[in-house]
């Protein structure tokens, strides 16, 4: 009799343990699973958009004439991949570049003098740009057309025993040529970026300073329109 009671108690204890284990297993099975969020994708700066800006620099002709220049630019970039950026840009700048020539000639009974001052009033370019982006750094090249306007004041005089005769004239000339350039640009904050650039303009035999090539080194700031990039 005692043995029979012991067996029944043992069976009851085993059943209680089994029910408890099943209940715990069910609780574990229905417990919410906390998954880690996927890693965030790296943010890449976007160069796409219209922009305007200004620049300052120096310019010099192959013959030695040099001076300062300053102006503005407007353009558009389109980033066709995470690295490659295509665009177009136009700019115009006024200059302080001048060239002066003085000459005197002695002829029988008279002295002839000529003074000529030529000024490069402005230069302008319109070019296609192609660049390779390293996130916030952009390295680019450009090719297109260049235009320059020059004015010259020429005065001549003939000094004789009976007096002097003088004459003066002004000449204005606009010439066109080829532009080649390279540069780099860095995104600063928000929509602002800074750049440095070298341009070579080849006007052939039409250069008002009688030099085939005109060189420009300039630095500038750009503001891109649109949403604030990364």
Rounded to an integer, what is the distance from CA 163 to the centroid of its chain?
59
**Whether the predicted pLDDT of 31 surpasses 90:** no
Task: Tell me how far apart the alpha carbons of residues 198 and 63 are, in angstroms, rounded to a whole number.
Answer: 18
pLDDT for the residue 227: 56
pLDDT digits (tens, 9 = 90+) for 105-122: 665 666 766 777 778 899
CB atoms within 10 A of CB 111: 13
CB atoms within 10 A of CB 35: 6
Of 22-26, 53-57, 110-114, 134-138, which gets the smallest average pLDDT? 22-26
Tokens of 132: 């390779």
H or E, element range at 17: helix 2-30
Most confident listed range (72-76, 95-99, 105-109): 72-76
**Whether the predicted pLDDT of 94 surpasses 90:** yes
pLDDT for the residue 161: 66
Three-state secondary-structure class, residue 206: helix
Look at the pTM and tell me if it is higher than 0.75.
Answer: no
Three-state secondary-structure class, residue 26: helix
Task: Tell me how far apart the alpha carbons of residues 74 and 200 are, in angstroms, rounded to a whole number.
Answer: 19
At 190, the pLDDT band (50, 70, 90 cuts) reads confident
Query: Among the CATH numbers 2.60.40, 2.40.160, 3.40.1000, 1.10.260, which is that of 55-224?
Result: 2.40.160
Computed over every residue of the chain, the mean pLDDT equals: 79
As a whole number, mean pLDDT of residues 65-85 equals 95
Task: Tell me how far apart the alpha carbons of residues 156 and 165 are, in angstroms, rounded to a whole number.
Answer: 8
Closest CA to 185 of 137, 130, 128, 142: 137
CB atoms within 10 A of CB 25: 10
**Whether the predicted pLDDT of 65 surpasses 80:** yes
Three-state secondary-structure class, residue 205: helix
As a whole number, mean pLDDT of residues 200-216 equals 78
Domains of the chain, by residue range, sit at 55-224
Contact call for residues 144 and 126 (beta carbons, < 8 A)? yes
pLDDT for the residue 28: 47
pLDDT for the residue 9: 42
pLDDT digits (tens, 9 = 90+) for 145-183: 999 998 877 777 677 666 667 666 787 889 999 999 999
pLDDT digits (tens, 9 = 90+) for 122-140: 999 999 999 999 999 999 9
At 3, the pLDDT band (50, 70, 90 cuts) reads very low
Long-range CB contact pairs, 194-201, < 8 A, 24+: 194/219, 194/220, 194/221, 194/222, 195/55, 195/219, 195/220, 195/221, 195/222, 197/55, 199/125, 199/142, 199/146, 201/123, 201/125, 201/146, 201/148, 201/177
């Amino acid at each position: 009799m005692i043995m029979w009671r012991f067996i029944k108690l043992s069976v009851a204890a085993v059943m209680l343990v089994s029910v408890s284990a099943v209940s715990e297993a069910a609780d574990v099975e229905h417990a919410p699973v906390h998954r880690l969020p996927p890693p965030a994708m790296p943010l890449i700066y976007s160069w796409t958009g219209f922009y305007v800006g200004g620049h300052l620099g120096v310019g010099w002709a192959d013959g030695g004439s040099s001076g300062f220049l300053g102006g503005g630019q407007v353009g558009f970039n389109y980033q066709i991949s995470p690295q490659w950026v295509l665009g177009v840009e136009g700019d115009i700048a006024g200059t302080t570049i001048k060239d002066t020539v003085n000459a005197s000639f002695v002829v029988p009974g008279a002295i002839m003098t000529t003074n000529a001052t030529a000024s490069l009033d402005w230069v302008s370019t319109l070019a296609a740009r192609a660049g390779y982006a390293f996130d916030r750094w952009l390295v680019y090249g450009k090719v297109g057309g260049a235009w320059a306007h020059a004015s010259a004041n020429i005065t001549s005089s003939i000094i004789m025993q009976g007096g002097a005769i003088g004459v003066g004239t002004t000449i204005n000339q606009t010439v066109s040529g080829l532009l080649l350039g390279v540069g780099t640009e860095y995104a600063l904050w928000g929509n602002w970026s800074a750049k440095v650039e070298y341009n070579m303009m080849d006007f052939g035999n039409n250069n008002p300073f009688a030099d085939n090539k005109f060189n420009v080194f300039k630095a500038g700031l750009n503001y891109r329109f649109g949403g604030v990039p990364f």
